[in-house]
Amino acid sequence: MLRILNIDKPRGWTSFDVIRWARRQFQEKKAGHLGTLDPLATGVLPVFLGKATKLISLFNEQDKVYRATVHFGIRTDTFDAEGQILAEWDPSPVNEKMVIEWLQRHLGWQDQQTPVHSAVKLQGTPAYRMARRGEAPELPMRRV
């Protein structure tokens, strides 16, 4: 039997917390997921158990939809709500039209500098751990 679960990841859990939970619930050693949701994010995390993990690559290229709440006028060192605030400014010049135009320019695949506070591993260590130790790892550009 192939098991593919759509699990609603709660805020505060890592994607691996969801995998750990699914392994226990279904007594399965092998498990994987599509993409990684940040601990602050909630939403559907597709989880593949057992032999279904071989199907992950087939699903990985499919379109995904994200919904977010954004607060303008704040920049943090981690690019999310958990980081230290580095700058604040008046966001009132930003309007809906400007946001829509910006979003339209950023549809599709983009090359992006990987943030230092990311789960991308360098020599087996997640970049965010290095960043928390005060290190500044050099990370590659990624297609997102």
Active site residue 77: no
End-to-end CA distance of the chain: 33
Q: What is the CA radius of gyration of the chain?
A: 18
Q: Which residues contact 5 (CB under 8 A, 6 or more apart)?
A: 22, 46, 47, 48, 49
SS (H, E, C) 52-101: HHHHHHHHHCCCCCCCCCCCCCEEECCCCCCCCEEEECCCCCCCHHHHHH
Q: Looking at 38, 77, 80, 90, which residue is catalytic?
A: 38
For residues 28 and 21, the answer to whether their CB atoms sit within 8 Å is no
* Residues catalogued as catalytic: 38
